[in-house]
Amino acid sequence: MNRACRSLVQWALAAVFVWCGSLVAAVPASGHAFAPALLEVHETTPGHALVRWKQPTVRVASSGLMPIISESCRTRGEPKTSLEDISVVGHWEIDCAGGLVGQTIRVEGVAASQANVLLRLVLTDGRSMRHVLTADQPSFIVPEREGALDVMVGYGRLGVEHILTGFDHLLFVLGLVLLVGGGRRLLGTVTAFTLGHSVTLALAVLGFVHIPQQPIEAGIACSIYVLAVELAPHQARQPTLLERAPWLMAGLFGLLHGLGFAGALAQVGLPQGEIPLALFSFNVGIEAGQLVFVGVVLAVWAGLRALPVRWPSLAAYVPAYAMGTLAAFWFFQRLAASLTGLR
């Protein structure tokens, strides 16, 4: 690939994702677009349950979502609403004749809003279940036992959605592709990133590592900035260690990104008795989404390589400076949110 065409490819790829990132930059510094509604139903005694309904404040007005826990269940008392961080939370109690097993839990408005709902269910016998309500499956019938296949599908889907809506993670992966190109170097670099975030994801979810989420999110933004510096054109010089061994950067920063993935999974929780399977499925979903993204980037790259276009030399600066600017914005936004949380 000649230098002008490579500049065009880099500019085009970076411009698309910086534009996407600018659309979400105004959203509070939560790190990702992964912010589904959460419906928790905790059966305290047979037939009686506490309900907790949580929605991000940015979605409450327009979501049109309404949880309905079986027509045979009745609400006890008046629902209470409160604000928690960047979410609106409703609390109420229900009575269901015969208990929750066999009852249908659904959320109206899922198809219209295209916003998935995470369902967390705890029964009196100690069993807990996790399920994702989607436009295709907006309801869930409480089973006697949740099958392993349900856990795999549900948590695998969560992993795919998390990586594909995590603009910061995608921007970092894009930077890795621009830094190393294709071939074996890309394979080794992406593998190192995968191993890094898989390790810390497991350690954090299983409780071996406890780090506040906001500093982690700021660190992820910083990792994108460091990568942007590596992508910036330089005067003739000796290759840096990161240019010679990009897998090193990918592996080390993968450890940081894994803690970010763990923060998202912590909001959902893991089903008792199926923790290894749920964790594995979530991680597989992340890798599947990541591979799809890399495949799309490489396909676009290959298409643009065929264009007989001459591009101004200054275009070579666009990817690095655009990524660096957005990363710096995210860093200070998340740092400010972290400092505010300490007050």
pLDDT digits (tens, 9 = 90+) for 211-258: 888 888 889 999 999 988 888 877 666 777 777 788 888 999 999 999
Provide the percentage of residues in the chain whose pLDDT is more than 70. 79
Give 114's pLDDT tier (boundaries 50, 70, 90): low
Sign for the CA dihedral angle at 132, 137, 139, 140 comes to negative
pLDDT digits (tens, 9 = 90+) for 121-147: 888 876 777 788 888 888 888 887 666
Burial class (CB in 10 A: 0-12, 13-18, 19+), 303: exposed
**Two structure tokens written together for 226:** 């460091």
Q: Tell me the fold of 37-146.
A: Immunoglobulin-like (2.60.40)
**Two structure tokens written together for 273:** 């008795």
pLDDT value at 299 more than 80: yes
State the average pLDDT for the chain. 79
DSSP 31: S
Distances (CA, A) of 185 to 180, 181, 217: 6, 8, 27
Give 66's pLDDT tier (boundaries 50, 70, 90): confident
Q: For the chain, give every residue range classified as CATH 2.60.40.
A: 37-146
pLDDT at 21: 46
**H-helix segments, the chain:** 3-24, 57-63, 110-113, 148-165, 167-180, 183-205, 213-231, 241-244, 246-268, 275-305, 318-342
Name the residue among 221, 218, 216 with its Cα closest to residue 200: 216
Sign for the CA dihedral angle at 86, 114, 139, 167 comes to negative
pLDDT at 60: 53
Q: Are 193 and 199 in contact (CB under 8 A)?
A: no
How far is CA 230 from its chain centroid?
25
pLDDT digits (tens, 9 = 90+) for 169-217: 899 999 898 888 878 888 889 899 999 999 999 898 888 888 888 888 8
Say what the alpha-carbon torsion angle 245, 250, 253, 255 is, to the nearest 10 degrees.
Answer: -110
Q: Are 319 and 231 in contact (CB under 8 A)?
A: yes
Give 41's pLDDT tier (boundaries 50, 70, 90): very high
> Averaged over 30-59, what is the pLDDT?
77
